[in-house]
Chain A
Amino acid sequence: MIQTVELRNITKRFPGVLANDRVNLQVRAGEILALLGENGAGKSTLMKILYGMYHPTEGEILVNGQVVQFKSPADALAQGIGMIHQHFQLVPGFTVVENVALGLKSSRGPLTDLDAVSKRVRELGAQYGLHVDPNALVWQLAVGQQQRVEIIKALYRDASLLILDEPTAVLTPQEVQEFFGILRRLRDAGNALIFISHKLYEVISISDRVTALRDGRVVGEVETKATTQQELARMMVGRQVVTRWEKSDMPPSDAVLQIKQLAVSNDKGLGAVNHLSLDVRAGEILGIAGVSGNGQRELAEAIAGMRRVNAGTVQIAGKDVTNCSPEQVIAASVSFIPEERMVMGVVREFSVAENAILETHNRPPLSKRTFFDFKQIDAHVTKLVREYDVKTPSLETPVKSLSGGNIQKLILARELARDPRVLIAAQPTRGVDIGATEYIHKRLIDQRAAGTAILLISEDLEEVRALSDRIAVMYEGEIVGIVPPDTSVEELGLMMAGAQKNL
């Protein structure tokens, strides 16, 4: 059983990168330590060292006060250290039990002993709330369940320190709550846990202590009880971060985006948006809150001209664009920040420059009579990249090698440069680090001040509350209420679960 694990002065050098720089870290049985840091801070590298996947350039690891050396993850496991990776390591065609048994010695020599494994899997499931059918094939399981299989695998191997590398990145907000329940039970049973995340509210709600990394160095160690999101954000980014925005008063103005009695089907042909009506005014951010799958995606796609409207109308500044092509919607001065940026927002293989002109490439001065003017394109894109702080080695770099935050800034640059009358922003900061999130929020606020009507669709309630002038709560394809932005999270949560708000 692990009592304490300590990393002392761990340094890890990759060619050209100092991933970890004299890092010290301790974790004890019965506590959840959060390892906090932005993308590239060195969290995964540090944990891979602890799990025996990398050898530290310098420094040592102590388990229960004894110096140990790991040549491989097998050595780490033998000491009781288990790791659940960002990308699962399961065989999709095997059952849960087969995956758990994989690589272990059977009690029956060359024959498998899956019944015994199955029994233990059930026991572990009951003990920690890790419910999963032992005989289900892994590929048939939802992502959240696959994650449980990974945890079971580690526990089955008697791990009592569990390293969880960004485990919530793949979960929906509801699944996260369930998952936290499991973590608490594991901790209360006397295990040590290291929880990696860059999401502050998760860290605050689940951990006992926090160690923050920045650029490979430890920049803070605090008791969770004694800190705030603000302080953690400052540690992580290295400066004060704005999460509350001052917004200028919005003068009453006309509705620019008008949706009347809109009905749209989802991919299965079932009603997803049910006779929904909504107005967004110039210079206003209207936030849509709702549990995902309640028609938000279909609503956005219908406005964009990407999905057929069955009934009702969409108007932009009085002009009817119902069932128009995306080209016509764009021409009506509508911009989009689509939900899945890598699929809908950019062409991964295209360069930064090529992506920046996706909608405007056929307009002068970028091109004349179908021929590109590369000088003009260069100037235009250079300006965008500067203005929107997109970090890229060059304009020719393929977009797929940029980080999520920089890709999102590029999309933002492209969409806002058109100075749209209406902006549909779907999950604008999903999977984006804190610095970029702050930046994107600031830009949205600026655009609001410039008079754009913004429809903000987000699963992040904090985001919706921080940016919106009004919040429309969406449930089963309908708006169940429109409330002011200072409405409490609890009340919003109730409405998102279908409780009607009487206005």
Chain B
Amino acid sequence: MTPLTQRFDFSRYNYILVPLAAGGLALLVGGVIIWLLGANPFQAYIGMLQGAFGSPNALADSLVKAGPLLFVGVGICIAYRGGVINIGGEGQIVMGALATTMIVLTFSNLPGLLLIPLALIAGFIGGGFWGGIAGFLKARFNVNEVLSTVMLNAIAVQFMTFLLNGVWIDPTTLDNAIRIPQTQRFPLWADLPRLTPTRLHAGILLGIAVAVLAYILLWRTTIGYRIRAVGFNTVASKYAGIGVGRYQILAITLSGALAGLGGAVEVLAVNHRLFTDGSATGFTGSAGFNGIVVALFGGLHPLGVIPASFLFGALLTGANSLQRTVQVPGAFVTTLDGLVVIFVVASQIWARRRATRRALIEPAPKENVASADAV
């Protein structure tokens, strides 16, 4: 074919190769740190691989860890395609979890077949509401969504702390005169079903389904088309009669809704209650931020996010067991996580710069590449 298509394909590979190489570099630097800490890096990484993939249980744990990353990551893709940068995953997970908790605590005597869907929908709406606020502020008052979502994160966490220390606090802990900021355990019939004897749960399947649906939405429907048009070019979209603000709000609302759904799955399938340590990360495990990295890792494509979230989940699980195998300080897990984040994000910036520089020095495309009849 023409050189044009070749170039296109090549950059397509880059989407996958660049973040993978960046992840590899991060592990290399991590290895040096392990060595400086006085441990054997090879032993450490073997421990990590075993911890992440070594047994059915390990594999299941990696998948379970991937869950919230998958939901948030797919959401980030939708927002990004709509030209909105959603840094509010943390707050949206929390708001989703809060809404789910409210439903479960209020309607705890409903049968599971009703209660679980209701609780999931509540999580979806809770997160969507929180994302929608940022979208509304952007569309209506031109408030930068990066700022507003970060602030909304803080508000959500405080709100959760307030509820868990007050009305929602587990009555049994009060009886024992210890105040732990968490709800009571949810009724057993509110648990999302497990798929195998491991901790793997149905929420992961839901996450994969959501990723596929997001792909269909973005590339097979007029709604997704409009989201993408607005994301690329607001002026041309406006000229074409597309309500730019409406689709920006929709993009970040959907993004928040998926994060909220991720929060709902976490409470229903993993924790079976809502708890906090006062910070956001206590409950979310930073999934709201890591989800962004996962989205980048997945080429900002919902289907790419599926393997990307699994890799990242494996990294998190593996790093924990690495730390136990070679006895490096617990903070190393966070360090390794941070290294991967920095390298992947930096590689994206690098790749984009290189692409623009290439575009600048490239010759103008030839006029008559092919005639229309070749179509």
> Residue-by-residue, is A6-36 near B (CB-CB < 8 Å gives 1, otherwise 0)?
0000000001110000000000000000000
Indicate whether B77 reaches chain A with its CB closer than 8 angstroms.
Answer: no
Indicate whether A277 reaches chain B with its CB closer than 8 angstroms.
Answer: no
- Is the beta-carbon distance between A393 and B370 smaller than 8 angstroms? yes
- Is the beta-carbon distance between B232 and A344 smaller than 8 angstroms? no
Interchain nearest-CB distance for A45 vs B (Å): 9
- Is the beta-carbon distance between B365 and A402 smaller than 8 angstroms? yes
User: If the complex has contacts A361-B222, A370-B223, are A343 and B367 also in contact, measured as CB distance less than 8 A?
Assistant: no
Residue of A nearest to B238 (CB): A326
- Is the beta-carbon distance between B233 and A348 smaller than 8 angstroms? yes
Chain B at the A interface: SS class = helix
- Is the beta-carbon distance between A358 and B4 smaller than 8 angstroms? no
- Is the beta-carbon distance between A358 and B372 smaller than 8 angstroms? no
The 8 closest A-B pairs by CB, nearest first: A327-B241, A358-B240, A40-B367, A347-B233, A330-B241, A370-B221, A362-B222, A326-B241
Chain A at the B interface: SS class = loop
Task: Give the residue of B229, B242, B371 whose beta carbon is less than 8 angstroms from that of A391.
Answer: B371
Indicate whether B237 reaches chain A with its CB closer than 8 angstroms.
Answer: yes
Indicate whether B364 reaches chain A with its CB closer than 8 angstroms.
Answer: yes
- Is the beta-carbon distance between B239 and A336 smaller than 8 angstroms? yes
Indicate whether B236 reaches chain A with its CB closer than 8 angstroms.
Answer: yes
- Is the beta-carbon distance between B369 and A346 smaller than 8 angstroms? no
Q: Which of A379-402 contact B (CB under 8 A)?
A: 382, 385-386, 389-395, 397-398, 401-402
- Is the beta-carbon distance between A395 and B375 smaller than 8 angstroms? yes
Q: Which of A308-348 contact B (CB under 8 A)?
A: 325-331, 336, 338, 343-348
Indicate whether A354 reaches chain B with its CB closer than 8 angstroms.
Answer: yes
Residues of chain B lying within 8 A (CB to CB) of residue A40: 364, 366-368
- Is the beta-carbon distance between A397 and B232 smaller than 8 angstroms? no
Indicate whether B285 reaches chain A with its CB closer than 8 angstroms.
Answer: no
Residues of chain B lying within 8 A (CB to CB) of residue A459: none
Indicate whether A128 reaches chain B with its CB closer than 8 angstroms.
Answer: no
> How many Å lie between the Cα of A328 and that of B242 in the bound state?
11
A-B contact pairs, 11 of them (CB 8 A): A39-B364, A40-B366, A326-B238, A336-B239, A344-B239, A350-B229, A358-B229, A392-B369, A393-B4, A398-B8, A403-B367
Most buried by B among A306, A372, A382: A372
User: If the complex has contacts A343-B236, A391-B368, A393-B2, are A371 and B241 also in contact, measured as CB distance less than 8 A?
Assistant: no
- Is the beta-carbon distance between B370 and A344 smaller than 8 angstroms? no
Residues of chain A lying within 8 A (CB to CB) of residue B232: 347-350
Number of interface residues of B (CB under 8 A): 38
Indicate whether B235 reaches chain A with its CB closer than 8 angstroms.
Answer: yes
> Residue-by-residue, is A344-384 near B (CB-CB < 8 Å gives 1, otherwise 0)?
11111110001000110110000100111000000000100
Residue of B nearest to A354 (CB): B225
> How many Å lie between the Cα of A391 and that of B368 in the bound state?
6
User: If the complex has contacts A336-B239, A343-B236, A344-B235, are A393 and B220 also in contact, measured as CB distance less than 8 A?
Assistant: no
Indicate whether A304 reaches chain B with its CB closer than 8 angstroms.
Answer: yes
Interchain nearest-CB distance for A81 vs B (Å): 22
User: If the complex has contacts A347-B232, A370-B221, A401-B365, are A390 and B238 also in contact, measured as CB distance less than 8 A?
Assistant: no
User: If the complex has contacts A16-B3, A347-B232, A372-B220, are A392 and B370 also in contact, measured as CB distance less than 8 A?
Assistant: yes
Indicate whether A38 reaches chain B with its CB closer than 8 angstroms.
Answer: yes
Indicate whether B373 reaches chain A with its CB closer than 8 angstroms.
Answer: yes
Indicate whether B5 reaches chain A with its CB closer than 8 angstroms.
Answer: yes
Residues of chain A lying within 8 A (CB to CB) of residue B243: 325, 327
Residue of B nearest to A353 (CB): B375
> How many Å lie between the Cα of A382 and that of B239 in the bound state?
23
Indicate whether B1 reaches chain A with its CB closer than 8 angstroms.
Answer: yes
What is the interface residue range for chain A against chain B? Answer: 35 or more
Residues of chain B lying within 8 A (CB to CB) of residue A358: 229, 236-237, 240
> How many Å lie between the Cα of A389 and that of B223 in the bound state?
30
Indicate whether A433 reaches chain B with its CB closer than 8 angstroms.
Answer: yes
Task: Give the residue of B8, B239, B364 whose beta carbon is less than 8 angstroms from that of A326.
Answer: B239
> How many Å lie between the Cα of A433 and that of B368 in the bound state?
12
Indicate whether B188 reaches chain A with its CB closer than 8 angstroms.
Answer: no
A40-B367, A349-B232 known, 7 other contacts, Cβ within 8 Å: A40-B366, A87-B360, A329-B241, A348-B233, A358-B240, A372-B222, A433-B367
Q: Report how many A-B pairs have Cβ atoms within 8 Å.
A: 116
Indicate whether B113 reaches chain A with its CB closer than 8 angstroms.
Answer: no
Indicate whether B174 reaches chain A with its CB closer than 8 angstroms.
Answer: no
- Is the beta-carbon distance between A394 and B375 smaller than 8 angstroms? yes
Residues of chain B lying within 8 A (CB to CB) of residue A325: 241, 243
> Residue-by-residue, is B351-375 near A (CB-CB < 8 Å gives 1, otherwise 0)?
0000000001000111111111111
Task: Give the residue of A326, A370, A385, A406 whose beta carbon is less than 8 angstroms from that of B375.
Answer: A385
Residues of chain B lying within 8 A (CB to CB) of residue A347: 229, 232-233, 236-237
- Is the beta-carbon distance between B236 and A344 smaller than 8 angstroms? yes
Residues of chain B lying within 8 A (CB to CB) of residue A306: 238-239
Interchain nearest-CB distance for A4 vs B (Å): 30
Residues of chain B lying within 8 A (CB to CB) of residue A327: 241-243
Residues of chain A lying within 8 A (CB to CB) of residue B5: 393-394
> How many Å lie between the Cα of A359 and that of B239 in the bound state?
9
Residue of B nearest to A327 (CB): B241
- Is the beta-carbon distance between B372 and A385 smaller than 8 angstroms? yes
Residues of chain B lying within 8 A (CB to CB) of residue A406: 367
Residues of chain B lying within 8 A (CB to CB) of residue A402: 365
- Is the beta-carbon distance between B239 and A345 smaller than 8 angstroms? yes
> How many Å lie between the Cα of A15 and that of B225 in the bound state?
37
- Is the beta-carbon distance between B221 and A38 smaller than 8 angstroms? no
> How many Å lie between the Cα of A76 and that of B366 in the bound state?
28
Residue of B nearest to A390 (CB): B372
Interchain nearest-CB distance for A422 vs B (Å): 15
> How many Å lie between the Cα of A345 and that of B233 in the bound state?
10
Residues of chain A lying within 8 A (CB to CB) of residue B222: 361-362, 367, 370-372
- Is the beta-carbon distance between B233 and A343 smaller than 8 angstroms? yes
> How many Å lie between the Cα of A16 and that of B6 in the bound state?
13
- Is the beta-carbon distance between B241 and A359 smaller than 8 angstroms? yes
Most buried by A among B232, B233, B242: B233
User: If the complex has contacts A306-B239, A327-B241, A330-B241, are A391 and B233 also in contact, measured as CB distance less than 8 A?
Assistant: no
> How many Å lie between the Cα of A406 and that of B243 in the bound state?
27
User: If the complex has contacts A38-B367, A343-B236, A372-B222, are A401 and B241 also in contact, measured as CB distance less than 8 A?
Assistant: no
- Is the beta-carbon distance between B369 and A393 smaller than 8 angstroms? yes
Residues of chain B lying within 8 A (CB to CB) of residue A39: 364, 367
- Is the beta-carbon distance between A393 and B374 smaller than 8 angstroms? yes
Residues of chain B lying within 8 A (CB to CB) of residue A393: 1-2, 4-5, 369-370, 374
Residues of chain A lying within 8 A (CB to CB) of residue B369: 391-393
Q: Which of A220-244 contact B (CB under 8 A)?
A: none
Residue of A nearest to B373 (CB): A386
Q: Which of B212-262 contact A (CB under 8 A)?
A: 220-223, 225-226, 228-229, 232-233, 235-243
Residues of chain B lying within 8 A (CB to CB) of residue A362: 222
Residues of chain B lying within 8 A (CB to CB) of residue A343: 233, 235-236
Interchain nearest-CB distance for B187 vs A (Å): 38
> How many Å lie between the Cα of A43 and that of B92 in the bound state?
57
Residues of chain A lying within 8 A (CB to CB) of residue B364: 39-40, 403
Residue of B nearest to A304 (CB): B239
Q: Which of A426-480 contact B (CB under 8 A)?
A: 433
Residue of B nearest to A397 (CB): B4
> Residue-by-residue, is A82-100 near B (CB-CB < 8 Å gives 1, otherwise 0)?
0000010000000000000
Task: Give the residue of A38, A338, A367 whose beta carbon is less than 8 angstroms from that of B239.
Answer: A338
Interchain nearest-CB distance for A302 vs B (Å): 13
> How many Å lie between the Cα of A326 and that of B235 in the bound state?
11
Interchain nearest-CB distance for B152 vs A (Å): 29
Most buried by A among B240, B243, B360, B369: B240
